[in-house]
Structure 1
Amino acid sequence: MDHGIVTFLTDYGIAPVRLGQAVEERGFGSLFLTEHTHIPASRLTPYPVGAAEPQPLPRYYSHTFDPFTALAAIAASTRRIGLGTAVSLVSQHHPITLAKQAASVDVLSGGRFELGAGPGWNAEEMANHGVDPARPLARMLEHVAAVRTIWTEDEPEFHGEFVDFDPIWSWPKPARPLPVLIGGVGVKVLDRVLSHGDGWLPLPLYPIDFLRTRIAELRERAGRHVPVTLYGADPEKLTDYAEAGVDRVLFELADHEDPADALRQLDLLADFVS
């Protein structure tokens, strides 16, 4: 089982290049970054979503670097670790631009990038991007389909409900078939993984036995080994995750203003996998 790091990389914390190098130096297999273009000041959407008693939204949500820009810098200063988004809010991107960004990071990294995709949860943030908060999943899936078309065809065109363009030229293409990991834990998430994804990126919200059942169902329906990456894994449960069929865990690096604190947390996490 591979062990990686996921974090909200901010403008007040550890710098992208230093973090990437530290993750690689400690033997982790990958580094994934979150994404929020902005956070509306209205704060109408509760945090966490569905909470009976909403909590203040953590500061880091509104201070994150653009993940593609940060990952490009990390790609240039590392050699081995996999890089990815967990997750990119693909509904909030124009697919032509997103295809270019993701392919560019993949080529610059020598084929180390994976696109983790999710619909997002903040309704006002979606609305500011022109996304109907009532239909983010439908738009996300169509954007993924459009991006794949651009990646794989020399003169791609796409005509859908949300995305419409005649034949275009767009390079670079990814260095290899670029994996798309579908995030989520909802009732129908496996349908989305099977229809539009190359892997599943769940949160650790299921009991271990149910996670095992879901992974087995996914692979039985697919007729192949679908990779599963668990976001926010508990380092005390690595054996349970492996037995459930998880291929990679991402430890969440907590928010730190002092880079030295971030490095100390990485050292502690590295002890679990050494």
Structure 2
Amino acid sequence: MKFGVSTFITDRGVRPAPLGTALEDRAFDSLFIAEHSHIPAKRESPYPDGGELPEMYYRTLDPFVALAVIATVTERLLLGTGIALIPQRDPIHTAKEVASLDLVSDGRVVFGVGVGWNREEMRDHGTDPATRGRLTDERLRAMRELWTQEKAEFHGEFVDFDPSYAWPKPVQRPFPPIYVGGGPGGFHRVAELGDAWLADGMPPDELGPLIERMRSVAGREVPVTVYAAADDPAQVEGYLGLGVERVLFYLPTMPEQETLAYLDRLAELAGRYR
């Protein structure tokens, strides 16, 4: 089993470069970072974890800028979005950002994607929350055309463009792996468009039946990465028993020295299972 970290990179926490160096120095294989463009002050959507929404949600750095910085100071670390909010992103620009990051990192991008939960946030991007699933699927299909075709074109319900040149192409062929986040409502997306399921950090006894259900929908042995996992040895043992490919420990957003101390503890736990 592989071990990485998932976190929110903000203007009040550790900077991207020292975080990336610290992760690679401690033999973590990957970093997945969250994305929110903004959070409307008038809140309607309840915070999924309950209570008040932490400020890290509206202080996140742009994921592709942060990961590009990390790419320049690392050599092996996988650079993941966890997750990129596809209903809020122009597919042509996003395809170029993903491909550009894959190029400058020599093929280390993992494209974690999802539909999002904050309805007022996505409405500000012109997205109807009721159709965000179909929109996400279509934008992902359009991006795959941009990554793989010399003259890409796409004609759909939401995305429409005539034959076009779009470079760079990703280093990874045919394109970076797509890790699909979300629950059972998105299992069809895993089946049709995903290379792995990016599962929320639920306990192993809850995750096991969902893995079986997801793989039944997909019709194949889709790898599973657990996002925002607790640093609990019992849960790590449970994930190991389920055959999970990767565990992403949740790293709270903190200043640099506190972050390094926290990573030391996570690395010690991960080292027990390597």
Partner residue, 2:263: 266
TM-score (norm 2): 0.93
In structure 2, C-alpha distance between the alignment counterparts of 1:126 and 1:136, rounded to whole Å = 9
SS at match of 1:42: coil
Identity of aligned residues (%): 47
- Report the alpha carbon displacement of residue 225 of structure 1 after superposing the two structures with TM: 3.1
Deviates more, 1:39-48 or 1:191-200: 39-48
Shift of 1:222: 4.1
Please give the alpha-carbon distance, in whole angstroms, between the structure 1 residues aligned to 2:156 and 2:132. Answer: 15
> 1:108-160, CA deviations, whole angstroms, 9 ceiling, x for partnerless residues?
11111011001111111101100001221111111111111111111110011
Spell out the pairing of 1:221-240 with structure 2 (5 A cutoff): 222-236=218-232, 237-240=235-238
SS in 2 for 1:202: strand
| 2: CA distance, partners of 1:209 / 1:6 | 21
Q: Is the 8 A contact 2:86 2:114 kept in 1?
A: yes
User: The residue matched to 2:267 in structure 1 has which SS?
Assistant: helix
CA distance in 2, matches of 1:105, 1:32: 14
**Uncovered stretches (5+) of structure 2, i.e. residues with no partner:** none
Do residues 10 (structure 1) and 10 (structure 2) align?
yes
Does residue 190 in structure 1 map to residue 219 in structure 2? no
CA distance in 2, matches of 1:57, 1:211: 25
Segments of structure 1 that go 5 or more residues without pairing to the other structure are: none
- Distance in structure 1 (CA, Å) of the matches to 2:266 and 2:230: 10
Query: How many angstroms apart in 2 are the aligned matches of 1:245 and 1:273?
Result: 16
CA RMSD after TM alignment:
1.5
Map of 1:46 onto structure 2: 46
> Quick one: distance in 2 between partners of 1:240 and 1:145?
35
Please state whether the residue corresponding to 1:4 is helix, strand or coil: strand
Judge conservation of contact 2:96–2:167 (CA < 8 Å) in 1.
yes
TM alignment of 1:45-124, pairs within 5 A = 45-48=45-48, 51=50, 55-124=51-120
Q: Is the 8 A contact 1:182 1:200 kept in 2?
A: yes
Partner of 1:131: 127
Q: 3-state SS of the aligned residue for 1:167? A: strand
Q: What is the TM-score when the length of structure 1 is the normalising length?
A: 0.93
Contact 1:215 1:245 in 2 (8 A): no
